[in-house]
Amino acid sequence: MTEGQKQGQLIVISGPSGVGKGTLIEELQKRRGDLGFSVSYTTRPPRVNEVDGKHYFFVTQQEFQRRVEEGDFLEYAGYADNAYGTSRSQVDAMLRRGQTVILDIETKGAMQVRERRPDATLIYILPPSYEELKARLYGRRTEDEATIRKRLAQAKKDLPYIPKYDFVVVNCQVALAVNELNEILRAASHKSCYMQEVIGRYDRSFAEDGPAGQM
Ligand code: 5GP
């Protein structure tokens, strides 16, 4: 990081399967030019229309394990029989370029990020209701009954983690939820950890202005 270059901010977005995180992130990307999305690694087979390298890097369990052992992941976790992990080097490269990096990850991974990157902002997306979530999951017809049940059970396991997030957004209407996310991102960019350069400049002015520093 050279002087004058702003470090990007790290944003974690979690929420139950079917809540619409993917759509919200896509809409947010359309609205802001500075967003980088981290493409995760997973052992889950691709769904119809999912593209390797765009939605995920689809890898075998052996490949995933090798990456775990080599310390490639900023965080990783198991979710509904599959493993998912975030590439540390991918995230760091985007942050160094000053991009705001979005991680769409589940709660266990989010807690690892909280530990390792205390500057990260954690946002949990809630559905308008449990019934609505169920209806959306059945409606999208991408999973069978057993998988949907597993994902609903997982949603229930998320409950104790939700208060640990910095912000909660209810996805009633995509446009409104995107507005709220945008406001949160704007506010989060003013966290003191992201204002180090401004603070440093202010601090140096005291040193340079001899008399004020001696008062
Ligand atoms: P899906 O299989 O529906 O794409 O994702 C299942 C869950 O895995 C979602 O809650 C998603 O946020 C989460 N997930 C996706 N990528 C990662 C990752 O790299 N790490 C972790 N911990 N969770 C992830």
In this prediction, residue 3 has a pLDDT band, given cuts at 50, 70 and 90, of very low
Ligand 1 probe mutation, 12, 21, 79, most atoms within 8 A of CB:
79
The pLDDT score that the predictor gives to residue 87 is 98
pLDDT tens-digit readout, 11-23: 999 999 999 999 9
Paired tokens of 159 = 């409950």
6 lines ligand 1 (CB under 6 A): no
CA–centroid distance, 37 to ligand 1, in Å, is 13
pLDDT digits 0-9 by tens, 122-163: 999 999 999 999 999 998 877 889 989 998 999 999 999 999
Element (H, E) at 61: helix 61-69
C-beta of 37 in contact with ligand 1 (< 6 A) = no
Residue 3 alpha carbon to ligand 1 centre in Å: 35
CB of 44 within 6 A of ligand 1: the answer is: yes
Contact in structure between 83 and 157 (CB atoms under 8 Å): no
CB 169 within 8 A of CB 184: yes
Confidence category of residue 6, pLDDT binned at 50, 70, 90: confident
Establish whether residue 181 lines the binding site of ligand 1, counting it when its CB lies within 6 angstroms of any ligand atom. no
Residue 206 has pLDDT above 70, yes or no: yes
Among 76, 82, 103, 105, say which to mutate for ligand 1: greatest number of ligand atoms within 8 Å of CB: 105
Percentage of residues in the chain having pLDDT higher than 70: 96
Q: What is the pTM of this model?
A: 0.92
Taking residues 32-55, report their average pLDDT.
93
Distance CA 109, CA 124 (A): 13
pLDDT of residue 215: 55
| pLDDT, position 212 | 63
pLDDT band at 214 (very low <50, low <70, confident <90, very high): low
**What is the pLDDT averaged over residues 177-191?**
96
Q: Is 109 in the pocket of ligand 1 (CB under 6 A)?
A: yes
> Is 79 near ligand 1, meaning CB less than 6 Å away?
yes
The residue-averaged pLDDT of 174-192 equals 96
Residue 213 confidence (pLDDT): 56
Give the single-character DSSP code of 177: H
Q: What phi and psi values does residue 142 have, to the nearest 5 degrees?
A: -105, -15
Sort strands 121-126 and 73-79 into parallel, antiparallel or unpaired: unpaired
Indicate if the pLDDT at residue 45 is higher than 70: yes
